[in-house]
């Protein structure tokens, strides 16, 4: 019998990589999707039609849909990845963020319990380094105190504690992976890394003039999402349910990410000025390619995330530096250079076709 996994947030960056990973391990993979007016699920389109890949409509804000899917699928493992995952957006939609990222976790746990799966089903909760927020120690490990610093982080803090509570109160096998930022070619386009790699590719190909960013000095521990989903699985294969920090142990600034991404796109950036006046200038042409905009500053910003993955390395045998920072940035830029070339080629073909139709060359 194949093991059965249920993934919430299956259409997201991590959900798509985790689906691939579990299918390779012979799992029967079920995913929960939301109804949308545009029904194109880009990140998982290549998996649709796979005989062991199934999708169900549901929503983390809707207990009945969760009960219905969990009760019928009866999973051995649940990966709760669904969330309003954008920190800046959580300042604009704090109530929805709390409903999905906090109460949503409770809905999943209760659905498992009420469906009679409390003893058999293992649950992974997508916790976050944002819990450390206004950091109280550097680097951060499993014993570092939390200091959440955004509506997103406060909601995720509830998720973390309710998982711990269900573990202790009901003896359920539920754990949190405290994951530091992880990126990829599939990263949402408004997170800083992808925003930078796409802009570098567009600027290199003459499709954009300038990139506007917020806090360039913010520090992150960036890893590769494809490597991190393995750890989610390892956490659920463990003998005991425990929480783990998942990080690379290496820290860089947004400015450094930018310089490296532009380098791989064929431009060398030099930063001059400070604060809102700081600018990234192309050394060769002298053109300003990066500017700071107040639009991308947050009311409270987390500026010093740096994880210590020693526990995961020792107890789960996980390799935190499988993909280096340099390799990650290169992968993302190469992907986006191709994406922008394809967009240009498609536009050219469309323009040619329109011209031929107009001139009656084709009908
Ligand atoms: P993502 O790309 O933004 O994906 C989020 C997923 O959640 C999408 O599939 C989205 O569906 C789904 N979702 C949102 N609201 C939902 C709702 N009400 N009901 C059902 N599904 C809903 O995020 P990600 O980067 O893959 O991250 C996965 C999880 O890890 C999130 O919980 C995030 O907070 C957490 N996390 C991420 C990182 C990171 O660096 N990536 C680090 C630590 C923790 P749609 O496609 O329909 O929008
Ligand atoms: N998004 C964005 N856009 N961030 C910018 C920009 C910009 O133009 N300019 C500077 N930044 C800074 C932000 O202020 C923040 O300090 C840092 O870049 C990273 O921002 P994001 O890429 O949006 O990620 P995040 O760290 O806030 O949140 C991500 O990682 C968390 C784990 O630490 C998300 O994936 C969360 O879901 C996840 O929990």
pLDDT score of 115: 98
Ligand 1 proximal residues by C-beta, below 6 Å = 8-9, 11-15, 32, 34, 36, 59-61, 81-85, 100, 126, 128, 179, 181-182, 188
Distance 269 CA to ligand 1 centre (A): 32
Of ligand 2's atoms, which has the minimum distance to the CA of residue 150? 27
Please list, in sequence order, all residues whose beta carbon lies within 8 angstroms of the beta carbon of residue 79, skipping any fewer than 6 positions away: 5, 6, 7, 8, 9, 15, 18, 124, 126, 232, 236
Of ligand 1's atoms, which has the minimum distance to the CA of residue 152? 34
Whole-number average pLDDT of the chain: 97
pLDDT score of 187: 98
pLDDT score of 40: 75
Percent of the chain's residues with pLDDT above 90: 98
pLDDT, tens digit (0-9, with 9 covering 90-100), for 178-216: 999 999 999 999 999 999 999 999 999 999 999 999 999
pLDDT, tens digit (0-9, with 9 covering 90-100), for 314-329: 999 999 999 999 999 9
Residues 304-315 have a mean pLDDT of 98
Distance 360 CA to ligand 1 centre (A): 48
Residues 7-27 have a mean pLDDT of 98
Query: Is pLDDT at 54 greater than 80 in this prediction?
Result: yes
pLDDT score of 116: 98
Residue whose CA is at the smallest distance from ligand 1 atom 10: 9
Query: Which residues form the catalytic set?
Result: 128, 130, 152
What span, in angstroms and rounded, lies between the C-alpha atoms of 257 and 298? 19
What span, in angstroms and rounded, lies between the C-alpha atoms of 230 and 211? 33
Pocket-testing residue among 125, 133, 179, 191, ligand 2, by greatest number of atoms within 8 A of Cβ:
191
Query: Is pLDDT at 39 greater than 80 in this prediction?
Result: no
pLDDT score of 356: 96
Query: Is pLDDT at 74 greater than 90 in this prediction?
Result: yes
Pocket-testing residue among 214, 248, 303, ligand 2, by greatest number of atoms within 8 A of Cβ:
214
Q: How far apart are the first and last CA of the chain?
A: 56
pLDDT, tens digit (0-9, with 9 covering 90-100), for 269-290: 999 999 999 999 999 999 999 9
102's tokens: 């906090």
Residues 25-37 have a mean pLDDT of 96
Q: In this structure, are residues 70 and 77 in contact, taking their beta carbons and an 8 Å threshold?
A: no
Residues 285-307 have a mean pLDDT of 98
Sign of CA dihedral 128, 131, 133, 139: negative
């Amino acid at each position: 019998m194949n093991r059965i996994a249920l993934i919430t947030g299956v259409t997201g960056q991590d959900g798509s990589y985790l689906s691939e990973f579990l299918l390779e391990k012979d799992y029967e993979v079920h995913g929960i999707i939301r109804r949308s007016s545009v029904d194109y699920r880009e990140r998982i389109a290549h998996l649709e039609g796979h005989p062991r890949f199934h999708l169900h409509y549901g929503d983390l804000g809707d207990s009945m849909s969760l009960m219905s899917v969990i009760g019928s699928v009866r999973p051995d493992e649940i990966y709760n990845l669904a969330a309003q995952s954008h920190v800046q957006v959580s300042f604009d939609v704090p109530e929805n963020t709390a409903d999905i990222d906090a109460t949503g976790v409770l809905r999943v746990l209760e659905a498992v319990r009420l469906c009679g799966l409390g003893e058999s089903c293992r649950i992974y909760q997508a916790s976050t380094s944002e819990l450390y927020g206004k950091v109280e120690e550097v680097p951060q490990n499993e014993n570092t105190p939390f200091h959440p610093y955004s509506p997103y982080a406060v909601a995720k803090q509830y998720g973390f504690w309710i998982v711990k509570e269900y573990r202790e109160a009901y003896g359920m096998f539920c754990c949190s992976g405290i994951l530091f930022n992880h990126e990829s070619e599939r990263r949402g386009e408004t997170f800083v890394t992808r925003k930078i790699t796409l802009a570098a590719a567009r600027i290199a190909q003459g499709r954009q003039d300038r990139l506007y960013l917020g806090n360039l000095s913010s520090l992150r521990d960036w890893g590769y999402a494809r490597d991190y989903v393995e750890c989610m699985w390892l956490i659920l294969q463990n003998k005991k349910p425990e929480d783990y920090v998942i990080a690379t142990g290496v820290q860089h600034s947004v400015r450094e990410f930018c310089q490296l991404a532009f380098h791989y796109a064929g431009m060398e950036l030099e930063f001059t000025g400070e604060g809102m006046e700081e600018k990234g200038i192309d050394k060769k042409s002298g053109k300003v390619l990066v500017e700071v905009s107040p639009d991308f500053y947050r009311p409270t910003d987390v500026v010093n995330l740096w994880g210590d993955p020693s526990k995961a390395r020792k107890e789960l045998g996980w390799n935190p530096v499988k993909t280096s920072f340099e390799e990650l940035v290169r992968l993302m830029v190469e992907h986006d250079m191709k994406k922008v070339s394809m967009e240009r080629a498609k536009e050219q073909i469309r323009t040619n076709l329109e011209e031929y139709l107009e001139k009656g060359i084709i009908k």
